[in-house]
């Protein structure tokens, strides 16, 4: 089966064609970074307007890249949750229009499930690599979500949350710390680049919630904010040291909790997903720590970590395999279908 996937959950407009065995036939992403950079973050109304302009050309570009027509597609999959509701509505409405006009099944996909299954994608321009078997434990870390799941299968009902952030998501913390250090938006890639040039031992940061699978990145961000206040004017070297210290603390926290969760669940495979999974240091830490514990680590290609439509198409293909489709009443919502356990905020549980 070949599925056309459409992704408009935040600030990336994506369309892709993917076979149900994970082979990516086309994957087109139109970034909105230039539109949001002047504001230091994603502006929902701007994102929605850009999706309206971009989604038609992006879908046509994906079909052209695959050398296909819409008649060659077996179903239309679209991100319906969670995300910015206005942005999601653009994708859902165009997916409905295409599915209705082409008489194809319509499939709504949970964006987070897409990230959890992105490890199964096979891009033609990347080298062949192994993929995990179920069950595995996955860390999903992005700008809006950070959680650890036990994944027993591709259906949301087969995913169990083992721990999540009580406040800021990891990617959100990267962007906020970058702003504190005057590095602009998006901050994650710049922190990763500068961390290579700095010495993490020169900035002392405490590891948040070290004894739990739950996480907190707001306090880590606040530690950096206090350090910046104490320093006054920052030199280039000081900024690099702060990037190195923050990244080392954040990535070691994520890697430690992921591998600890796998050992707790007696699972021999861990998976990374989400935009933060593109971080160089996190990828290396997970590989190294998992290897020491006899656990196999699986990390998608960088292009499959950030928001993309290929993962949405594949997750849609998995639903189609199970005989699941949606009707014309499919709607957008900011809530994930994955079960939640971790409560937001401070205090004992």
Looking at domain 2-125+304-321, its CATH class is alpha beta
User: How does pLDDT run across 7-19, given as a tens digit for each residue?
Assistant: 999 999 999 999 9
Q: Is the pLDDT of residue 349 over 60?
A: no
Give the phi and the psi of residue 75 in degrees, each rounded to 5.
Answer: -165, 160
Band of residue 148 on the pLDDT scale cut at 50, 70, 90: very high
* Cβ partners under 8 Å of residue 174, min gap 6: 187, 188, 191, 246, 250, 276
Residue 268 · residue 296 · CB < 8 Å: yes
Q: What is the DSSP string of 34-97?
A: HHHGGGTS--HHHHHHHHHHHHHHHHHHHHHHHT--GGG-SEEEEEEESS-HHHHHHHHHHHHH
> Up-side HSE of residue 43: CA atoms within 13 Å toward CB?
12
DSSP letter at 326 equals B
Q: Homologous superfamily of 136-300 in CATH?
A: ATPase, nucleotide binding domain (3.30.420.40)
12-19/2-7 β-pairing: antiparallel
- Check if the beta carbon of residue 84 is closer than 8 Å to that of residue 46: no
Asked whether the bond before 135 is cis by omega within 30 degrees of 0, the reply is: yes
H helix intervals, 212-349: 218-231, 236-265, 280-292, 302-305, 309-321
**pLDDT at res. 123:** 84
For residue 186, say if its preceding peptide bond is cis, omega within 30 degrees of 0. Answer: yes
The pLDDT of residue 39: 84
Biggest CA pair distance of the chain:
63
pLDDT of residue 347: 60
pLDDT tens-digit series, residues 34-90:
888 888 888 999 999 999 999 999 999 999 999 999 999 999 999 999 999 999 999
For 254-281, what is each residue's pLDDT tens digit?
A: 999 999 999 999 999 999 999 999 999 9
For residues 167 and 246, give the distance between their C-alpha atoms in angstroms, rounded to a whole number.
17
**How far does Cα 313 stand from its chain's mean position?**
15
The DSSP symbol for 181 reads T
- What percent of the chain lies above the pLDDT cut of 90? 85
Nearest Cα to Cα of residue 309 among 129, 85, 66? 66
pLDDT category of residue 346 using cuts at 50, 70 and 90 = low
Q: What share of the chain is helix, strand, coil (3-state, %, to 5)?
A: 45, 20, 35
pLDDT top residue among 76 and 302:
76
Where along the chain do its domains lie? 2-125+304-321, 136-300
Q: pLDDT digits over 106-144, tens only?
A: 999 999 999 999 999 998 767 677 899 999 999 999 988
- Is 136-300 in the same CATH topology as 2-125+304-321? yes
The rounded percent of the chain whose pLDDT value lies above 70 is 98
Core vs surface per residue 15-46: b (16+ CB within 10 A) or e: bbbbbbebebbbbbbbbbeeebeeeeebbeeb
Question: From the centroid of its chain, how far is CA 315?
Answer: 14
Contacts of 239 (CB under 8 A, 6+ apart): 181, 182, 183, 194, 198
């Amino acid at each position: 089966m070949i599925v056309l996937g459409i992704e408009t959950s935040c600030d990336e407009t994506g369309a892709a064609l993917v076979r149900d065995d994970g082979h990516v036939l086309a994957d087109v992403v139109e970034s909105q970074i230039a539109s949001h950079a002047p504001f230091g973050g994603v502006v929902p109304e701007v994102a929605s307007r850009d999706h309206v302009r971009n989604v038609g050309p992006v879908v046509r570009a994906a079909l052209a890249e695959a050398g296909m027509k819409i008649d060659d597609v077996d179903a239309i999959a679209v991100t319906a949750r969670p995300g910015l509701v206005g942005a999601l509505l653009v994708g859902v409405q165009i997916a409905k229009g295409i599915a209705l006009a082409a008489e194809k099944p319509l499939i709504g996909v949970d964006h987070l499930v897409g990230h959890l299954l992105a490890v199964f994608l096979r891009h033609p321009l990347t080298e062949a690599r192994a993929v995990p078997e179920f069950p595995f434990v996955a860390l999903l870390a992005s700008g809006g979500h950070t959680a650890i799941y036990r994944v027993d299968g591709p259906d949301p009902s087969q995913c169990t949350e083992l721990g999540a952030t009580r406040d800021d998501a990891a990617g959100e913390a990267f962007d906020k710390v970058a702003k504190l250090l005057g590095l602009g938006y998006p901050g994650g890639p710049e922190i990763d680049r500068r961390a290579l040039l700095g010495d993490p031992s020169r900035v002392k940061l405490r590891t948040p919630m070290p004894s739990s699978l739950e996480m907190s990145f707001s306090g880590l961000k606040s530690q950096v904010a206090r350090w910046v206040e104490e320093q006054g004017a920052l030199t280039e070297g000081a900024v690099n040291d702060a990037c190195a210290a923050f990244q080392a603390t954040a990535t070691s926290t994520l890697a430690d909790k992921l591998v600890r969760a796998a050992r707790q669940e007696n699972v021999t495979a861990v998976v990374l997903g989400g935009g933060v999974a593109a971080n160089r240091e996190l990828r290396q830490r997970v590989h190294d720590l998992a290897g020491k514990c006899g656990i196999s680590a699986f990390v998608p290609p960088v292009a499959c970590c950030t928001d993309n439509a290929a993962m949405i198409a594949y997750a849609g293909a998995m639903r189609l395999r199970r005989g699941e489709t949606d009707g014309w009443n499919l709607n957008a919502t900011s809530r994930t279908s994955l079960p939640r356990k971790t409560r937001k905020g401070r205090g004992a549980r």
